[in-house]
Amino acid sequence: MLITLTCAMPNAPDIGYVLGKHPGSIFMRQFSAGTVWVYYPHVVDEQVTVALLTEIDPVGLVRGPAALTQLDQYVNDRPYVASSLTSVALRVAFSSALAGRCEARPDLVGRSLHWEVTIPALNCDAGADLITRLFTPLGYEVVAECLPLDARFPAWGEANLFYVRLTGEQTTQAALSHLYVLLPVLDNAKHYYVDAQEAAKLLAHGSAWLTNHPERDLITRRYLRYKRPLIQQVESSLARLLAKDDEAPETVDELATEEPLKGAHDAEPHEIVQVVSALEAPTPTETEHDMDAVEAVGKAPVETVAIETAKATVGEPPEQRLHDLRLQAVMEAVRASGAHSLVDLGCGEGRLLVLAITERSLTRILGIDVSSTALARARRRLHYETLSDAQQRRIQIALGSLLYRDKRLEGFDAAALVEVIEHLDAPRLGAMERVVFGLARPRRVIVTTPNRDYNIRWAQPDQPAEAVRLRHGDHRFEWTRAEGRAWADRIAASYGYTFEQRELGPSDPDSPEIGAPSQMFVFDLG
Ligand code: SAH
């Protein structure tokens, strides 16, 4: 599936800065449903065309349960039509441009440019009319031509497929966000689990233009796959934004993370968090272990299964045992600091909290997570309802985000971030750093994250290290130990901490170059 975007302006190749893709190179990345490439088929001074090519693995998609993939045929149209999978590929390829970030040429980010987008086959169950109704109000001239089912057999009639050309003056971020949100809306079939995070994505990428879009309700309904609680939350959030249009913006104080998120969300970021935290995701949680299950069956079946098999054959510790080791190491580091209070940031289902509650020296414990479903499980795991009043005062569990200043996070001796940071994408990582190390400032911060050096253990024969997939579909990165150290060095220097980097999990003394499966950083306020 190929989408092309053509931009006409003087010095047009400079658009490469905004897209984060050099016109002379080819970008390739594997993602949950296949592979995405970005390249420039046409580059002259006054016009460039950038192509987004996705190769979807149709068999891999089908191997997931129908509930997740909504597909039951190995031979399906997904590789050939623009769909929600193209939208995922778009985000993989152009994440910084979608977030409106471009350090090299910030002047270009806010500039309206002349764009022409061509989609040779777009799936839409509701006719050319809907395509026009969605894109025209956003300032595009729209061409949408229905394609025959098979050009050789006109009697077979027309398909639900359209050749689409969109022409308009748009900022790069706007053009990409329109496609990102509207391709799945037109396709009307998401191929991944729709939960609170999807509502947050819709707001992050759509709120700037959705509030005034005449088809706002239809877009929200179809994007969120008719899930009523999600729709209601997004609608009320958009209505609040609309009401706020005339009011003064929030003060910077109220939005600790305004700066890093400015580009990512044209709307007030706290609105987005409110939605994420207020929502009850109906089925599996977003936590690591459950996501593993969703991921393995629904999103990246072929490769994930391969990794799982490889793991088993080299006799790795089962993930659960490794996680127990991690948690014990973290508790040991808490104990060693003499901490009396602990905040578990991104506590998930409360596995660390269960250990913490048995630690008598801890008189105050708080677990914070953005997923209400995970927190419900944490409560069950701790038998929270049956704890005495005194214990309930001692240990608390609360919805919250690490990306926004939150007074509740302040005043703790120790903080833990266990397998959390790799779930945050780059601009949000900066927000978390400011919130945790800059504002909450616990005396000790313990961070664990995978060690990418170790991933080579899961490589196929002859597969280069860079080609080994990340361990989990929601991981935004996995650092080598050198990358981890560089990050920790920066944190220590910026926020006045010292740190120690440790290996976590069993390692092979004969392979020091790959180390142990996880890495841990223990930061102390200097
Ligand atoms: N620390 C737990 C869970 C790790 S999974 C454990 O070790 O078992 C990562 C967790 O981070 C998930 O529960 C996810 O909901 C949470 N998370 C992701 N982004 C977050 C954010 N911005 N604020 C708070 N929690 C977040």
* pTM (2 d.p.): 0.48
Residues in the chain: 526
445: phi then psi, degrees, rounded to nearest 5: -125, 125
CB atoms within 10 A of CB 314: 10
CA of 344 to the centre of ligand 1 (A): 9
Contact 469/295 with Cβ under 8 angstroms?
A: no
CA of 346 to the centre of ligand 1 (A): 3
Name the residue of 420, 429, 476 whose CB sits within 8 Å of the most ligand 1 atoms, as the mutation to test its pocket: 420
Question: Can you point out the beta strands (E) in 376-443?
Answer: 395-399, 414-418
Burial 128-153 (b: 16+ CB within 10 A, else e): bebbbbbbeebbbebebeebeeeeee
Residue nearest to atom 3 of ligand 1 (CA): 348
Residue nearest to atom 23 of ligand 1 (CA): 401
Ligand 1 nearest-atom number relative to CA 344: 1
Cα separation, 179 vs 89, whole angstroms = 11
- Where does ligand 1 bind, in terms of residues with CB under 6 Å? 286-288, 346-348, 351, 369-371, 374, 401-403, 418-420, 423-424
In angstroms, the Cα distances linking 164 to 127, 145, 471 are 12, 7, 37
Ligand 1 nearest-atom number relative to CA 371: 15
Name the residue of 287, 397, 403 whose CB sits within 8 Å of the most ligand 1 atoms, as the mutation to test its pocket: 287
The sign of the CA dihedral 59, 60, 61, 63 is positive
**Cα angle: 162, vertex 167, 170; to 5 degrees:** 125
Among candidates 184, 187, 220, which has minimal Cα distance to 202?
220
164: phi then psi, degrees, rounded to nearest 5: -130, 135
Among candidates 137, 218, 149, which has minimal Cα distance to 178?
137
Output the pLDDT for position 57.
67
CA of 240 to the centre of ligand 1 (A): 27
CA of 78 to the centre of ligand 1 (A): 32
Ligand 1 nearest-atom number relative to CA 326: 7
Cα separation, 143 vs 118, whole angstroms = 9
Output the pLDDT for position 119.
93
Ligand 1 nearest-atom number relative to CA 323: 7
Please give the single-letter amino acid code of residue 48: V
Per-residue pLDDT of the chain (526 residues; tens, 9 = 90+): 889 999 999 999 999 999 999 998 899 888 777 888 999 999 999 999 999 998 876 555 544 443 334 444 445 555 566 677 888 899 999 999 998 888 888 888 888 999 999 998 888 877 899 999 999 999 999 999 988 766 666 666 566 789 999 999 999 999 999 999 999 888 876 555 566 777 888 888 888 898 888 998 899 888 887 777 788 778 877 777 766 544 433 322 222 222 222 222 322 222 222 222 222 222 222 233 322 222 222 222 222 222 222 233 334 445 667 888 899 999 999 999 999 999 999 999 999 999 999 999 999 999 999 998 899 999 999 999 888 999 999 999 999 999 999 999 999 999 999 999 999 988 899 999 999 999 999 999 999 999 999 988 877 777 777 777 787 777 889 999 999 999 999 999 999 999 999 999 888 888 888 999 999 999 999 8
CA of 402 to the centre of ligand 1 (A): 9
**Domains in the chain, CATH or no CATH each:** 2-313 (3.30.1610.20), 322-525 (3.40.50.150)
Residue nearest to atom 9 of ligand 1 (CA): 420
